[in-house]
Structure 1
Amino acid sequence: MVVLGREIRLPADVMFGHIKVANETGNQSDFAVQIRGRMRRAHEVARRHLEANAKRSKEVYDVRLSFHKYEVGDVVWLLHETRRVGISAKLQKAFDGPFFVKGKDI
């Protein structure tokens, strides 16, 4: 509906009569106006559903997200984000530490 402005007729639908075949007699400009209106409504519905889905996805993501607030004296580990060439990633240390937090920049 969103792409073509009408429901797609599948062979099974035509055989078993699930979709009413539209009467294609009439003015072509009226047909174009009808298709444009159907597509506009379909796009509005799709846009609303996409917005609702984006909000729901953000809520699910935000639930799993956690922010850490470190204080002076906390024990932390330093993550190695880069790997050394020539050594298997499995054999390299992922973290260095433990280190103590000395101060905070605000």
Structure 2
Amino acid sequence: MVTGREVRLPADIIYADPSPGSSTETRNVPTMQQARYAGRMPKRLVHVHQIAMEQLKQRAKCSKVHYDQKASVIDYNVGDPVWCLIEGRNVGLCPKLENIYEGPMLIQQKKINS
């Protein structure tokens, strides 16, 4: 599905077909069956790609449903203590050793989304 052809392993290259009359010239000439296979391959690859994309979409929907079941929304009220994320970084200090939260702070006003 990935390459659209049979994978040639190192052993296949080292141990070529030992049958009499087989040489590199005769093995590289495509047969009629191989030509038909090669002619059908682009359509089949497009079809396989469409199937894979549909499966990815279905998995994304299932993952979202599973995530949403476990997600929770916390409703904060005025006067609740919270930790505030510090998004800016100080130049010259190691980010690993900096505090990323400041607080505790009290909520003074609640923004209403409309």
TM over 0.5: yes
Q: What 5-or-longer segments of structure 2 have no aligned partner?
A: 16-29
2-side partners of 1:89 and 1:37: how far apart? Answer: 52
TM-score normalised by length of structure 2: 0.56
**Which amino acid is 1:47 matched to?**
M
Which structure is higher in RCO with an 8 Å CA cutoff and minimum separation 6?
Answer: 1
Out of 53, 76, 96, the residue aligned to residue 70 of structure 1 is 76
| Cα pair distance change 1:58/1:25, threshold 3 Å | same
TM-score normalised by length of structure 1: 0.59
- Greater Rg, structure 1 or structure 2? 2
Q: How many residues align?
A: 95
2-side partners of 1:100 and 1:82: how far apart? Answer: 21
* 8 Å Cα contact 1:2-1:42 kept in structure 2: no
**Which amino acid is 2:31 matched to?**
E
Give, in angstroms, the shift of residue 90 of structure 1: 4.6
Q: Tell me the secondary structure at the aligned position of residue 51 of structure 2.
A: helix
Say yes or no: does 1:43 pair with 2:49: yes
* 2:21 corresponds to: none
Q: Percent identity of the aligned residues?
A: 36
Q: What 5-or-longer segments of structure 1 have no aligned partner?
A: 16-22
Over the aligned positions, Cα root-mean-square deviation in angstroms equals 3.3
* 2:106 corresponds to: 100
* 1:86 corresponds to: 92
2-side partners of 1:45 and 1:91: how far apart? Answer: 48
